[in-house]
Amino acid sequence: MTGTVINAPAGTPFVEVTREFAATPAQLFKIVSDRDLVTEWLGPRELDATVEEYDARTGGAYRYIHRDEAGEYAFRGVFHTVEPDKLIIQTFEFEGAPGQVCIEKMTLEPTATGVRFHQQSVFPSVESRDQFIESGMEHGINDSMDRLAELLAKES
């Protein structure tokens, strides 16, 4: 697999993201769970980011804000299950669409050449999933995955 694969089957409330990285599950987990590294990989490059809270442990919570000349875009959620180097299950909510809470499951699987990142997102409705797609999420996901690869290369 080369690059990021985003699968959003029409008529469903699902989005799946898959990417392979030349790293160990522990290296990737460290980056995705470290509060101090979140702003270096999460979201589109052209947005400034501030992390208000990021406690990546079972029962922890997060809130971060992306900014550009048009305004602020805040996101929040709760980490329901965190198994280091393997699994994160969390909620995801864009504060600009209150009540449209998504459930996300991220797994890190070792492969012969590194680690496979796989995230499954379930939205409350097909309509809310479609709004997420129409908001430009593909650009943000691709940038985030590329930025993760860059951080992993620096950490090696």
pLDDT in tens, 88-122: 999 999 999 999 999 999 999 999 999 999 999 99
What pTM value is reported for the model? 0.93
Q: pLDDT tens digit string along 34-89?
A: 999 999 999 999 999 999 999 999 999 999 999 999 999 999 999 999 999 999 99
Place 2 in a pLDDT band, splitting at 50, 70 and 90.
low
In percent, the amount of the chain with pLDDT more than 70 equals 98
Burial (CB count within 10 angstroms: exposed 0-12, middle 13-18, buried 19+), residue 156:
exposed
Domain CATH number, residue 108: 3.30.530.20
Biggest alpha carbon–alpha carbon distance for the chain: 44
Q: How far is CA 69 from the centre of its chain?
A: 23
User: Please, are residues 120 and 14 in contact by the beta-carbon 8 Å criterion?
Assistant: yes
Give the C-alpha distances (Å, rounded to integers) separating 125 from 8, 137, 141. Answer: 13, 16, 20
Buried b (16+ CB within 10 A) or exposed e, 20-34: bbebbbebbbbbbbe
Place 137 in a pLDDT band, splitting at 50, 70 and 90.
confident
Place 135 in a pLDDT band, splitting at 50, 70 and 90.
confident
| Main-chain dihedrals φ then ψ at residue 133, nearest 5 degrees | -65, -45
Over 50: is that where the pLDDT of 1 sits? no
Number of domains in the chain: 1
Calpha distance 90→80 (Å, rounded): 5
User: Please, are residues 115 and 1 in contact by the beta-carbon 8 Å criterion?
Assistant: no
Domain extent, residue 24, equals 5-155
Nearest to 102 by CA among 81, 128, 80: 128
